[in-house]
Amino acid sequence: MSRTNAKPPAAAGTARPAKASRPAEDAYPGSSGEGVLFSLGKVVEQRDGITAGHCERLALTAAALGVAMGLDEASLLTLYLGGFLHDIGKVGIPDAILFKAGPLTEEEWDAMRTHPARGESICRPLKSFRAVLPLIRSHHERMDGTGYPDHLRGEEIPLLARVLQTVDIYDALTNTRPYKEPCTRQRALEILEEEAACGWRDPEITSRFVGLNRRVLEKIRTYSRPAAATSMRRSLNNLQQLLAS
């Protein structure tokens, strides 16, 4: 879930972002770990019915964009995990801020901007989620350095975090939020292109996402992920077959 017109933070964070590294094949949870994953991912959604389905849509759409970019399976799995876990730090944000219908005050923005670091702290003890930490921490950074929490610039922002944020913004724009009505898909894509042009988003990733035709995006919207007990690799294989059909 993303407020796309967020003001840049007044000061850089003091903690260093998690180092991005190529995920190892054993860096992902088995069936019991997946149960933790899906439970954590649903916590934020269950606080408000308006955002129901956001994490699952984000996981699938980010993985689909990764397929379009030719990313390897380990990266696709990381994107899939990141879709479910990217906003887990919002469990510590008061409802009065998270679901406020109007603009946030500067103090409220200060609280909101803590959620990436909070999420990283929550997931850091889980070794099976270590590859996802850079996505959780850095999905609100901007290419021009005005994002948060670390003011990263350009390719300092991990590639997969740049992929995830593109999809996160699109999903937020095209779905109802407490503070706005949904945009049309076409307008959401235009906003992404505008934000890339002004230096906020990765222009190459934005262009690739805009290039995903309507048929592909509609397939993603109607795709039903298998039960949580089904492996993530099998789920991704099913998604790849769907997109290829």
φ/ψ (deg, to 5) at 134: -65, -30
Phi, psi of 23 (to 5 degrees): -65, 140
Note the pLDDT tens digit of each residue in 134-183.
999 999 999 999 999 999 999 999 999 999 999 999 998 998 777 788 99
Q: What is the mean pLDDT of the chain?
A: 80
| CA-based torsion, 38, 44, 46, 51: positive or negative | negative
What are the chain's domains? 31-244 (1.10.3210.10)
Query: Can you give the pLDDT at residue 46?
Result: 65
Instruction: Considering only residues 126 and 7, tell me which one the structure prediction assigns the higher pLDDT.
Output: 126
In the structure encoding, which two tokens stand for residue 76, read together?
Answer: 């696709």
Q: What is the DSSP code (8-state) at residue 126?
A: -
pLDDT, tens only, 66-119 = 988 999 989 999 999 899 889 889 888 898 998 888 899 999 999 999 999 999
Instruction: Note if the bond before 149 is cis, omega within 30 degrees.
Output: yes
215: Cβ–Cβ under 8 A, 6 or more apart, which residues? none
Tell which wins on pLDDT, 74 or 11: 74
Residue 229 has a pLDDT of 37
User: What are the residue numbers of the active site?
Assistant: 90
Instruction: Give pLDDT, residue 163.
Output: 97
Q: Using alpha carbons, select from 63, 54, 131 the residue that is nearest to residue 88.
A: 54
Please give the model's pTM, rounded to 2 decimal places.
0.79
CB atoms near residue 181 (< 10 Å) = 7
Which of helix, strand or coil describes residue 144? strand
Higher pLDDT residue, 98 or 226?
A: 98
Torsion of CA 166, 170, 176, 178, to 10 degrees: 30
Give, in degrees to the nearest 5, the angle at Cα 104 between 118 and 193.
85
